[in-house]
Structure 1
Amino acid sequence: MSKERLARLVLLPELELVKSVKLSNRILGLLCKKNSTHEVCPKCACPSESVYDHRPVRIKDEPLRNKLVVLLINKRRFYCSHCKKPFTEPISGIGKGRRTTERLRSAICWAAENFHDLSRVQRHYDCSADTVYRATYDSLELRRRKRLYPLPPVIGIDEHSLRKPKGRSTVYSTIIVDHTHRRVYDLLEGRARAEIEEPLKRLSGRFNVRVVTMDLSPVYRTLTKEYFPNASIVADRFHVQRLFTKLVNRFRKRITGDKPSHPMRKLLLRNAEDLESHERRIVIHWLNFHPELREIYEYKEAIRRFYKIRGYHRARSALGRLLLRMGRSSISEAKKLRTTLM
């Protein structure tokens, strides 16, 4: 491999390769230097061209082809005529006072999350446990600071099951999603009002929120009206459609029993337009013998088609017709579901 190609693949952008040195069977040393006509003083921001002296440093870099890479840099020290003090030239990709590159620290963080244990990370990168912990926690702190921003205009609130201890009830939490940046904004312990009320008060930018998507939980709806007064509440599509699919499954169980393996279960829960022609005929023929289930199934398909309607007025008209039809139904569950929708 030529010197120029090796420099492009391995070195940091500001460094120039002088020569490569074999330090051991596993360690590859790269003697390099930084070419610049002047440097800026970090204290007074005045440029300086006067080289004070040189300081050789060894910087550990990300491994290359299972070989450890050490950058041997002869750093220059410049003299600032304004401050009357020397300073060492900075190199992008290497933190001040550190003996490891940022890409090595990023690689260690990735390994700490994906390797079986931290001992393997130490052996793979030939580093101490302190280096692994420092790199990992510095990365976590940087991620934490990136999320310290006010709430965006559009957020989502939903419950999330954390774990289910053996012999005890499931432990739930409340997750707040940033829809603007498509990532999790915060995770609050618990889902009851008494558990999440205080954490909601401490959130910054509550008055910036304009839209909150959520399930049909009355607790979340009440808290949203109280702590996000400028926000409009939008029922999440998934939870609305799940009301109908659960009702279809409940009526199906009355006929076939509680058998998850029953072939009609999957056919009834799938979208009608996704069924093959022979599957659609089977569903229609089977539902003709069960008129109540057929009616609930038609409601499920109607609400699914509702979310595909384009245009506010057309959608409002379609929803009104669906609610009117459900109100005239003789099935008590359909009337309760209509009340929930309204």
Structure 2
Amino acid sequence: MDNDTTLLLDLDGLAVVRVERLEDGTRRVHLVTADEHARACRQCGTFSSRIKGSAVTRPRDLPHGERGLELVWHRWYCTEPLCPRGSLTEHVRQVPARTRLTARLRSAAGQRVRDAGSTVVQAARDLRLSWPTVMNAFQDAGTQVVDAALEPVEVLGIDETRRGRAQWRQNPQTGRWEPVADRWHTGFVDAPGIQGLLGQVEGRAPSDVLAWLSTTELTWRRQVRYVAIDMSAGYRAAVRIGLPHATVVVDHFHVVQLANKMLSVVRRRTTATLRGRRGRTTDPEWKARRRLLRNRC
């Protein structure tokens, strides 16, 4: 039953019976199960050989062309007279049982948000899916990345990120307000590599950094040679405990930022000492304040 049309559709385990064009230009593709193992009844084990024409499923697939594509998958009868099932639900790798989407459509929806930088709303519009469907696909795709083992990292970057506002809750027993969500998160990145964000935890205390490091393998931690931080005493203390063999370095941005701040302090102090007042727009050091903070041109 396999033919060139089956190869063009490229759905493993399904064969194309016929293709018809509807009035609106949509192509309707009628499919049957090509994999004989998928035709076996789960209750009696009999292999079906007769299509149940009145029962069909319409799994949604990736868009093909401008007019769209509609799939119609015909189900089978169980030919065993003593089997009470009567009909069965075939399932193949691309179309699992009781699903309304092909596996490749669901995978494409999740990868658009995870890898292509698309929003959930935009991916739902492009693939003509609902927001919850795309969001669930994205969660599954994101879980694959989170659960994957980390590749070796030579330079580990640690920095803080502000995430909204802190949330507090009053303890009904003590009456004291306790923090529920910290506004600061700590991110761990592959500084010179291509892995990007490796992990993120709530809080920026040394214990938060050590908690994330404890989730990694010992062999992975031993391969970290340098740790780039932002001159935070808490991060430095955590690195000394969790990665005692690594060399702590300060990233380029914060070094330049600290030097620029000190240069501005010296400029203001010199102006106040020489002129006895704050700087004005007519002062040469005020006019050159931006040039002092620039790199060599």
Q: CA deviation at 1:133?
A: 0.6
Q: Which one of the candidate residues 111, 118, 143 is aligned to 1:114?
A: 118
Q: Which one of the candidate residues 214, 235, 239 is aligned to 1:224?
A: 239
Q: CA deviation at 1:24?
A: 4.5
Q: Which residue of structure 1 aligns with residue 29 of structure 2?
A: 30
The runs of 5 or more residues in structure 1 that have no matched partner are 166-170, 269-278, 280-342
Q: Which one of the candidate residues 196, 202, 205 is aligned to 1:192?
A: 205
Map of 1:1-342 to 2, 5 A cutoff? Answer: 4=4, 7-25=6-24, 27-36=26-35, 38=37, 50-51=47-48, 53-55=50-52, 56-76=56-76, 88-109=89-110, 110=112, 114=118, 117=121, 121=124, 125-127=127-129, 129=130, 132-148=131-147, 154=153, 156-162=156-162, 172-177=184-189, 182-193=195-206, 196=208, 199-200=211-212, 203-205=215-217, 208-210=220-222, 211=224, 213-215=227-229, 216-228=231-243, 232-236=245-249, 239=251, 243=255, 246-247=258-259, 250-251=262-263, 254=267, 256-257=285-286, 261-262=290-291, 265-268=293-296
Give the fraction of aligned pairs with identical amino acids, expressed as a percent: 15
- Conserved in 2, the CA contact under 8 Å of 1:14 and 1:92? yes
Q: CA deviation at 1:116?
A: 8.5
Higher helix share: 1
Sort the Cα spacing of 1:241 and 1:257 in 2 relative to 1 into closer, same or farther, 3 A. same
Q: Which residue of structure 2 aligns with residue 288 of structure 1?
A: none
2-structure distance, mates of 1:175, 1:204? 14
Q: Secondary structure at the match of 1:182?
A: coil
Q: CA deviation at 1:37?
A: 5.2
Sort the Cα spacing of 1:246 and 1:181 in 2 relative to 1 into closer, same or farther, 3 A. closer
Q: Which residue of structure 1 aligns with residue 173 of structure 2?
A: none
Sort the Cα spacing of 1:72 and 1:151 in 2 relative to 1 into closer, same or farther, 3 A. closer
Count of aligned positions:
247
1-structure distance, mates of 2:20, 2:289? 66
Sort the Cα spacing of 1:250 and 1:79 in 2 relative to 1 into closer, same or farther, 3 A. farther
The runs of 5 or more residues in structure 2 that have no matched partner are 166-182, 268-283
- Aligned residue type for 2:140: E
Larger relative contact order (Cα-Cα within 8 Å, sequence gap ≥ 6): 2
CA RMSD of aligned residues (A): 4.7
1-structure distance, mates of 2:152, 2:119? 38
TM superposition score normalised by structure 2 = 0.60
- Aligned residue type for 1:50: F
